[in-house]
Structure 1
Amino acid sequence: MPFSNYFEDFTVLDYLSNTLDILLVWFVIYKLLMVIRGTKAVQLVKGIFVIVVARSLSGLFGLDTLSWLMEQALTWGFLAVIIIFQPEVRRALEQLGRGRLFSRNVVQEDKEQRELIDALMEAVSYMAKRRIGALISIEKETGMNEYIETGIPLNSTVTSQLLINIFIPNTPLHDGAVIIQKNQIAAAACYLPLSESPFISKELGTRHRAAIGVSEVTDSITIIVSEETGAVSIAKNGDLFRGLSSEDFEKLLSHELLKEQTESSNRWSWRGRRSDG
């Protein structure tokens, strides 16, 4: 068929259907990126991008061996992804089965998160006044199963009474971290990775170093109650925010855990409360 006649055979309906097709593909890609955002799969996407670029360049410059290696990586990579990221794939399929992959019940989630914040507020306030040391890490998008497996499984509803009981000194579960996963206490007495940053103040102990350490490798929010001073701190993204008042503590948790946040002048600012070391 002549090239000039190719476009003549296209109708307005064809253009609309093609445009809709492209928009839907981009929408699906966008939603999938939102699902993996903040997870280890983000690094995988970067790796795949590097392999694709290397494959294209090797073919362009005639690097046959490198081209063959990249081709094998792409061919078998799909199977490797399923095996390595089996938990994330299963979670995405479960959300799809419940109709939650592309939509969420924000109101219900905010209600559950509000209950979590209230329980944390009450427990932390009680422990801070009595200088009971505590370490509580809240999982967000990046999975924390490898740290949960180091502790004692609980799978319990989050209540202030249970959190306080766990951290009472000289009890079996008080030494270590509590990890909250999907609004439940997944495990207690968990071991978190210690930060090796040389910029951490020498006056900070193991709890603070562990909180900073886990915040460097995950997007979790970790709460620390100092056993020496009763001061409340929070670690996130490798930063430590020390000496938080009750009001600041609540604002910070609300900003991070609630889905719906109004844009206002008094909205919490991480940068404004950052404490070095």
Structure 2
Amino acid sequence: MENIINLIKSYLVNLSLPKIHVIDIVEILIISVLVYEFMLWVKNTRAYNLLKGMLVVLAFIFIAYLFDMQTILWIAKNSVGFAITAILIIFQPELRKALEELGHKNIVSTILPFDANKEEEGRFSNKTINEIIRACFDMGEVKTGALIVIEQDILLNEYAKTGIMLDSLLTSQLLLNIFEHNTPLHDGAIIVRGDRIVAATCYLPLSDNMNLSKDLGTRHRAGVGISEVTDSLTIIVSEETGRVSVAMSGSLKVGLTPDELREVLEKVQKKVKTDTSKFRIWKGRVKHEEKSDE
């Protein structure tokens, strides 16, 4: 026992700690934040199950290393390059979504003042909120299915191109006519940008989230699917039950009341910034800016 204690003492005496500078502390903090964000990202996406599968494979390789299984180790060694490519392909949707979320962080706009000389205005008007709520619950009463995608920061042009372009002012009467049974535009989703309906009969990606209830149909899975790959808000009216639901950020809230739907829409309506700088890149006139005859 004394020999062990003396060995530990001699080790501690000869132990020399490296000098820690301010930049080292900054690096540790940055790495800690990145690791923490990575763990949250893995936990909140399908990457969690994929990562568990990868850990199982690594465990088998570690067992092969312990028992000196040369054939398995040779296969693993020569498959590293292919494995990296396979990982990038498998995680492509999650990586794309993570980069999109990173681009939406306020940190970027804080460091790079792209939003200088801008004034605030609503994403859409209160009248549009009222029209959407009225139409959704009117359709719910008669069990008319509807799928309404409200665009936010990410443009939905690629999905709008799959449907029929409208560019019409949003009204409850128009929504009721679009989703009426046996009409040319009732099948598929509509895309709303601001106070206007951009397109109808649009195709949306279906969610493969296994946690969604089996009672939900294709319309709900499409609503969740578009919310997984974009920052849009999707309103779903069930054709079977007449319930109104909303999907956002991959999550689904079922059976909303008119007041709850209004609250969700008002959050999405939050003030957005519009450039008023004389040196803006976009050459169009700003809202309320009059055309000069000079």
TM-score of the aligned structures, taking structure 2 as reference length: 0.52
- Distance change >3 Å, CA 155–CA 245, structure 1 → 2: same
1:158 maps to which of 167, 170, 191: 170
User: Which of 186, 192, 201 is equivalent to 1:174?
Assistant: 186
The residue type equivalent to 2:252 in the other structure is L
Written as runs of structure 1 = structure 2, the 5 A alignment for 1:1-277 is: 102-106=117-121, 109=122, 112-259=124-271
1 CA distance for matches of 2:180 and 2:172? 12
Shift of 1:258: 3.1
8 Å CA contact retained: 1:114, 1:258: no
Q: Is the 8 A contact 2:160 2:191 kept in 1?
A: yes
Aligned-partner Cα distance in 2 for 1:208–1:105: 33
Q: What is the CA deviation profile of residues 134-174 of structure 1, one whole-angstrom value per residue up to 9, with x for unaligned ones?
A: 00000000110000000000000000000010000111100
Contact in 2 for aligned 1:113/1:258 (Cα 8 Å): no
Secondary structure of the 1:180 match is strand
Cα drift, residue 203 of structure 1: 0.4
Instruction: Give the aligned CA root-mean-square deviation in angstroms.
Output: 1.8
Higher mean alpha-carbon deviation, 142-151 vs 244-253, is at 244-253
Please report how far the alpha carbon of residue 213 of structure 1 lies from its aligned counterpart in structure 2 after TM superposition: 0.2
Distance 1:123 1:206 in 2: 21
- Distance, in Å, in 1 between the alignment partners of 2:125 and 2:242 is 25
Q: Counterpart amino acid of 1:119?
A: E
Offset, 1:101: 6.2
Count of residue pairs brought into register by the alignment: 159
The alpha-carbon deviation at position 102 of structure 1 amounts to 3.6
Task: Report the equivalent of 2:29.
Answer: none
Deviates most, 176-185 or 218-227 = 176-185
- Moved beyond 3 Å, runs of 4+: none
**Contact 2:160-2:202 at 8 Å conserved across structures:** yes
- Structure 1 spans left out of the alignment, 5+ residues: 1-99, 261-277
After TM superposition, the score normalised by the length of structure 1 is 0.55
Distance 2:155 2:169 in 1: 19
Q: Which runs of 5+ in 2 are unaligned?
A: 1-114, 273-294
| 8 Å contact from structure 2 (residues 120, 271) kept in 1 | no
